[in-house]
């Protein structure tokens, strides 16, 4: 009896990816170091609010940390490009861990409020862990665009997974053990993971001590992409705040985390599936169009049904567009950024995302308070539409210039 040919498994591209020497080792260290990125914010809020009785103070401290990270991130990444990952990332991580421990001690010892801001700002030296990993993949797979697409998809799925599990782990530790447990465990994981990651020297990109390459901010095509990342960050920031406000209005605030986790889960699954495909080339306009269309689902669910569980299903579907969008945009950043300044370029992406998250959080919170939580779901939809408009305008402008040059 003839044997039936089985279809190729979607995970086959990932098996080939991690069959390369050294990739499993640096990925394991990177994932350990990346998990705390979703833990520190929640841990700091719980720790500060529990000790000082003020969520306003806790929110202000964490916002200051985000702002400091947005400013310091490109500077740290520039040093990484110049001197190498191991020589810069390890001392930068040690400084960030000391900042976390200083915050813990200031809270526990009842130090003045200003010391909390100073200590948490010191954590801004934390390297862009995901960017370091993406730089390794770009170096290893510079001659294999298909494999690089799979690697970028895996990295985006890893981001979603870590930011989905991180807050859950932090909440469990702070609630089960003691308020400082989340910060302590996060600091230990970050330091351990970074040591494991940087120990894999065979896959580390070579440093570029001397370079005349222009800053990514002056590289053609990069500024519009960063503007798209700001708008995409606004999608993330507003969705989180508005979903919490909506769940609170429904009397199910404790379920907000699980609902938001479904959005991350949808994005994670879509990212892995997207990585198994072999697209002809980056199609950012299609991804942004899909994200804009799917971001209308939470608004429709909230306005027409009033059910938190229908909203959860809508968020699961909406999340499936975010990972392909991020993967495609990140691939374009890698292609357009000079190789000598790749870490800096990807760090600027994080700066753009953090800026957008802050703006989206503020806008979504304002609309949820002054209109209604259901109506506030228009904020992520509008942010996605802005990202689509920016990309469409840039594409149209380039097409016009190309036509003018030909004629």
Residue 406 confidence class, pLDDT cut points 50, 70, 90: very low
Q: Do 329 and 230 touch, CB atoms closer than 8 A?
A: no
Q: Which of 164, 183, 165, 172 is CA-nearest to residue 120?
A: 183
- On average, the pLDDT of the chain sits at 82
> Is pLDDT of 101 > 90?
yes
Q: What is the per-residue pLDDT for 254?
A: 65
Range of lowest pLDDT (3-12, 19-28, 125-134): 3-12
Return the CATH superfamily for domain 16-206. Answer: MFS general substrate transporter like domains (1.20.1250.20)
- Highest-pLDDT range among 40-49, 54-63, 187-196, 242-251: 187-196
Q: What is the per-residue pLDDT for 6?
A: 38
Q: Which of 170, 191, 73, 63 is CA-nearest to residue 116?
A: 63
Q: What is the per-residue pLDDT for 400?
A: 55
Over residues 45-73, mean pLDDT: 80
Residue 206 has what DSSP assignment? P
Q: What is the per-residue pLDDT for 279?
A: 60
> Is pLDDT of 213 > 70?
no
Query: What is the pTM for the complete model shown?
Result: 0.76
Give span(s): CATH 1.20.1250.20, the chain: 16-206, 215-407
Render pLDDT for 120-176 as a digit per residue (tens, 0 to 9).
989 989 888 888 888 898 888 888 888 888 888 888 888 878 877 787 788 788 878
Q: Do 267 and 390 touch, CB atoms closer than 8 A?
A: no
Residue 7 confidence class, pLDDT cut points 50, 70, 90: very low
Over residues 269-284, mean pLDDT: 73
Q: What is the per-residue pLDDT for 223?
A: 86
- CATH hierarchy code of domain 215-407: 1.20.1250.20
> Is pLDDT of 192 > 90?
yes
Residue 321 confidence class, pLDDT cut points 50, 70, 90: confident
Compute and round to an integer the Cα radius of gyration of the chain.
21
CA distance linking residue 382 with residue 402, whole number of Å: 30
């Amino acid at each position: 009896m003839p044997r039936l040919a089985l279809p190729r498994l979607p995970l086959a591209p990932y098996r080939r990816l991690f069959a390369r020497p050294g990739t499993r080792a640096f990925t394991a260290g990177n994932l350990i170091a990346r998990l705390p990125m979703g833990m520190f914010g929640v841990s700091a809020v719980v720790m500060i609010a529990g000790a000082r009785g003020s969520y306003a103070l806790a929110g202000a401290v964490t916002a200051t940390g985000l702002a400091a990270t947005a400013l310091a991130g490109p500077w740290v990444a520039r040093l990484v490009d110049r001197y190498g990952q191991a020589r810069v990332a390890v001392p930068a991580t040690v400084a960030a861990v000391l900042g976390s421990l200083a915050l813990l001690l200031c809270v526990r010892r009842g130090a003045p409020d200003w010391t909390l801001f100073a200590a948490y700002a010191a954590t801004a030296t934390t390297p862009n862990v995901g960017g370091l990993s993406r730089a390794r993949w770009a170096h290893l797979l510079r001659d294999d665009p298909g494999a690089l697409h799979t690697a970028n998809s895996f990295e985006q799925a890893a981001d979603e997974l870590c930011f989905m599990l991180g807050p859950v782990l932090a909440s469990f530790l702070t609630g089960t053990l003691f308020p400082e447990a989340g910060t302590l465990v996060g600091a230990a994981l970050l330091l351990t993971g970074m040591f494991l990651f940087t120990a894999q020297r065979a896959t580390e990109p070579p440093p570029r001590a001397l370079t005349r390459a222009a800053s990514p901010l002056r590289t053609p095509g990069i500024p519009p992409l960063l503007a798209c990342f700001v708008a995409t960050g606004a999608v993330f920031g507003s969705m989180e705040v508005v979903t919490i406000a909506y769940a609170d209005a429904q009397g199910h605030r404790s379920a907000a985390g699980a609902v938001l986790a479904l959005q991350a889960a949808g994005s994670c699954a879509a990212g892995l599936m997207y990585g198994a495909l072999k697209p002809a080339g980056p199609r950012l306009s299609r991804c942004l169009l899909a994200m804009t269309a799917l971001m209308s689902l939470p608004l429709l669910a909230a306005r027409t049904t009033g059910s938190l569980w229908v909203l959860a299903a809508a968020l699961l579907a909406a999340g499936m567009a975010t990972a392909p969008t991020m993967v495609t945009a990140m691939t374009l950043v890698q292609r357009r950024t000079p190789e000598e300044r790749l870490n800096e370029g990807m760090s600027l992406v994080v700066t753009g995302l953090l800026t957008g998250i802050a703006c989206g959080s503020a806008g979504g919170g304002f609309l949820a308070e002054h209109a209604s939580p259901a109506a506030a779901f228009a904020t992520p939809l509008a942010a996605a539409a802005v990202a689509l408009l920016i990309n469409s305008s840039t594409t149209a402008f380039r097409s016009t210039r190309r036509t003018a040059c030909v004629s």
